[in-house]
Amino acid sequence: MCVLTSNRFTRFYAANSTGGFCRGKGSLKYILWGLAAALLLAAGFVVYAATGLPEVGYLSRENPKTTAFAEHWKKLQKGGGESAHVHEEWVDFKYVSPYVVGAVLVSEDINFWEHSGYDWEEIKRAVRTDIKKKRFSRGASTITQQLARNLFLSNEKTPARKLREFFIARKLEKELSKMRILELYLNWAEWGDGIFGIQAASWTYFQKPAWELWPEEAVRLATILPNPKRFSPFSDSAYLKRKRNLVLQRMLKYGMISNEDYEFAKEKLEEGAS
């Protein structure tokens, strides 16, 4: 039964309606119940995603011997009857070319040193781009999030995986130093079919250790992340040309290379495109 208060409005409404006012109250009740149920489901989903997260503290002192991505690659290879040998070679951070570090940071995560595992500004830009294009066209994963995915998760694009990636990234940021996160990322990022880590990538593509990579070589490697199976360091697609130029310009802007380095690297990249 719908109870109306005895004011002029409700008396008028009761006398001149066919019960719509009462039905409106009933509809509101169902809407509120629906909202409450949706909130409970969302809260349960978040709790589920945050439950049973992997331990990450040991990574501060131990180098991982494999990753979820590497194991997934080996499984696919075996399923296709092919060799499942992973090409990876650990290299300490101090033996990685500073040009590589700079190129990767400006290409993948310019705010790496400032954020706590996720970059809200980049997320907002990605959402605006996706809405405009009406599809998932722009990523917003930080280096920490990419590391979380590489180490423990899969590459599937689902809300559950993305949420777990978020929580694992937060754990990594709390328990590891920024330098260690970057070292782990550089050593287990995928740089091609079965190629994991900057040292393996450097030997594979340039026949030299990671310490000896020059700016133009570092840019070629950095700009195929995080899609090394789609792009090659030696591809000269219009997309990669634009991305390489942008990364090189940012490296100059942030003082990672000199004007002389910039001009030389630009010339070398243009030679490769000719």
> Which ranges of 134-227 would DSSP assign to H, the alpha helix?
143-152, 159-175, 178-188, 198-206, 215-222
Instruction: Measure the CA–CA gap between 127 and 134, rounded to whole angstroms.
Output: 10
Collapsing DSSP to helix, strand or coil, 87 comes out as: strand
- Measure the N-to-C terminal CA separation of the chain; round to a whole number of Å: 81
- CATH class of segment(s) 95-273: mainly alpha
User: Does the pLDDT at position 119 exceed 60?
Assistant: yes
pLDDT in tens, 243-252: 999 999 999 9
Average predicted confidence (pLDDT) for the chain: 84
Using N-to-C axis directions, what is the helix angle for 8-16 and 20-50, rounded to 10°?
Answer: 100
In the structure encoding, which two tokens stand for residue 214, read together?
A: 């020059």
pTM exceeds 0.95, yes or no: no
Q: Are strands 195-196 and 190-192 parallel, antiparallel or unpaired?
A: antiparallel
Phi, psi of 196, rounded to the nearest 5 degrees: -125, 125
The proportion of the chain whose per-residue pLDDT surpasses 90, expressed as a percent, equals: 62
In the structure encoding, which two tokens stand for residue 250, read together?
A: 């940012």
**How is the chain split into domains, by residue range?**
95-273
pLDDT in tens, 24-34: 556 777 676 66
Bridge partners, residue 199, by sequence: none
The DSSP code for 88 is E
